[in-house]
Amino acid sequence: MNKSAKWEKEFVERFSKRYDELKWLYCEVYNNDMKAFSWLCNSLYEYYKSRKSSLKNLDREKEKNPDWYKTKNIIGMMLYVDAFADNLEGVREKIDYLKKCGVNYLHFMPLLKTPKGRSDGGYAVSDFRKVQHELGTMAELEKLTAECHKNGISCCLDFVMNHTSEDHEWARAARNGDTEAQKRYFFFDDWEYPNKFEQTVPQVFPTTAPGNFTYLDDCDKIVMTTFYPYQWDLNYGNCVVFNDMVGNMLSIANRGIDVIRLDAVPYIWKELGTSCRNLPTVHSLVRMMRIITEIVCPSVLLLGEVVMEPSKVVPYFGTVEKPECHMLYNVTTMASTWHTVATKDVRLLKRQMNQLSELPKDYIFLNYLRCHDDIGWGLDYDWLKQFGISEIPHKKFLNDYFTGKFPDSNARGELYNNDPRLGDARLCGTTASLCGIEAALEDKDTDKLEKSLDCDIMLHAYMLTQSGIPVLYSGDEIGQLNDYSYHDNLEKSVDSRYLHRGKFNWKLAENCDDSDTVQGRIFQSILKLEKCRAENEVFRAEADFQTVDTGSDSVLGICREYENKKLLAYFNFSDNPQSVFLDGVKSGRDLFTDDEVCSISIELKPYGFSWLLLDE
């Protein structure tokens, strides 16, 4: 073991406990390069030593309670700093508002330094140690996270680990002929190997950024660019890349970030003749990162971004003995939820819930209705075939529905990466606009507005019913509508995702206490749902849950049970009233309305829901 006599006892204890596995994994991936491993180990101590005492105290506190993030009391929110409050100092000044929202988990969308006009929304990082200058400084980020911690708020930040910006110092050196820097990426002199890769590697953005490689005419080289030409894929086969990127990750953690979101993690290992997705070595790298955080900063969690079908997502939890990510996104459920809104048929969503109910309760998912990204229609089409649903026409139906082209649809959204050749596209829009609130307000139709508001609130109730951590997308708590002003911005107009990335409307947020307004109706309803969730044991992560038959393909039924408590939750995805027979139920209380229920059935209004807590 390579450890200095000067290493502090606390670090030595953590390090010694995990040394053997870390060494074994590192040597397996990097061909027994003990010199590089020794360098890594010494760097871990340096990051531990430079960690502030307040953060070390947080580490010790959470080491005693490693399951702290699995409670029913966590409510998340994701936001863009500039859209929410202009800069980091502005966010710090809005902490009271965040607390009013019930938020105690705050995800800052990418804020590290990126080149103007070539940032992919912040996912093309040119310096992992600096904040975008218009947002503030690293010192201001530390000040913000410290203030969040004082107010019981954990902070999450994206760690873009698959690639760097072409403006990163490593990339600039590589472009200028530095062969060591070129080894940090995938550089080629001709198209022989890139063409071989292209035979098996899918394209992420076939319309807007076709291919997986980019020719650099200024240095006559070809570089791998899985996402966009200005995002150069890092070569994790080079141990120097792993060591330095671990350093970047720990540097972020030492700024007070509690949750590191591993962006595009399935892509980080490349091998010729494969899809370069989800390869076994990816899991070795993530496992090493988990071990490293447990040594240096054990209060820090890893959140994996795996935008794939469930069979590809779940392995990123690792095993009980060798865990990888602490948390993962529940991506498939978001798409299935909006499919259900359009079809008014809950059977696919019910299947999704049944699949989730079979997973170990230790698996913590982040659940959300909308996020910063588009909605991709990667549904289970093999299963949907039995209902006469085919992939291409169904995707067209969904996109027509949510862009308001389908008859009687009040949804308002826009397409992203539309590919007419394949009949494929993704969807953009805020929750409120996709639910029909925007159209109802434009038409001044009170009946339509009532149904749209009920749909929005019902969807939030459904999200809060699921096990895991519910995450609001900033603006959804006040029913913020699509922002079409991006069309007039030359830098943003080509990317329809800015439709739902608009400036937070603080003027409308002033209505959040007035339930007679759209903003107040949604805000107060979500707040009440959060309170019910926090106060009732049936929402614990350890609770059993399963779907129940409702007698209607438009009503989703979920049963949650914990010890002697039982909740029946019903969600009407139809724009017509639905009756649900309560088989064997004697009496109970609706947690949301506080109404006593003693009948053999309940009536759900259009887009209505019920949280029925049964009497013991």
Which positions are annotated as active-site residues?
263, 305
CB 316 within 8 A of CB 324: yes
How far is Cα 75 from Cα 86, in angstroms, rounded to an integer? 23
- CB count within 10 Å of CB 503 equals 15
The answer to whether 592 and 609 are in contact (CB under 8 A) is yes
Closest among 210, 228, 233, 499 to 375, alpha carbons compared: 499
User: What's the rounded Cα separation, in Å, for the pair 379 and 397?
Assistant: 13
| Structure tokens that stand for 230 in this block | 């200005």
**How far is Cα 8 from Cα 12, in angstroms, rounded to an integer?**
6
Compute the half-sphere exposure of residue 263: CA atoms within 13 Å on the CB side of its CA.
Answer: 22
Instruction: Please state, as a whole number, how many other Cβ atoms lie within 10 Å of the Cβ of residue 443.
Output: 12
Q: How far apart are CA 424 and CA 580, in angstroms?
A: 37
For residue 354, give every residue at least 6 positions away whose Cβ sits within 8 Å of its Cβ, in sequence order, or none.
546, 547
| End-to-end CA gap in the chain | 57
Q: Distance (Å, rounded) from C-alpha 266 to C-alpha 233?
A: 13
Distance CA 245, CA 426 (A): 31
Strands 596-597, 588-590: pairing kind: antiparallel
Q: What are phi and psi of 371, to 5 degrees?
A: -140, -170
Round to whole Å and give the CA distance between 435 and 3.
Answer: 58
What is the rounded CA–CA span in Å between residue 93 and residue 86?
11
Helix (H, G, I), strand (E, B) or coil at 610: strand
Locate all alpha helices (DSSP H) within 345-445, ordered by sequence: 347-357, 381-384, 391-402, 431-435, 437-443
Q: What is the number of residues in the chain?
A: 616
Q: How far is CA 384 from the centre of its chain?
A: 26
DSSP characters over 140-192:
HHHHHHHHHHHTT-EEEEEEE-SEEETTSHHHHHHHTT-HHHHTTS-EESSSH
SS3 253: helix
- Which of 499, 505, 424 is CA-nearest to residue 121? 499
Contacts of 439 (CB under 8 A, 6+ apart): 404, 410, 411, 412, 433, 448, 452
Using the 8-state DSSP alphabet, how is residue 108 labeled? E
Q: Spell out the residues 6+ positions from residue 399 whose beta carbon is closer than 8 angstroms to its own.
A: 377, 415, 425, 427
Distance of CA 378 to the CA centre of its chain: 16
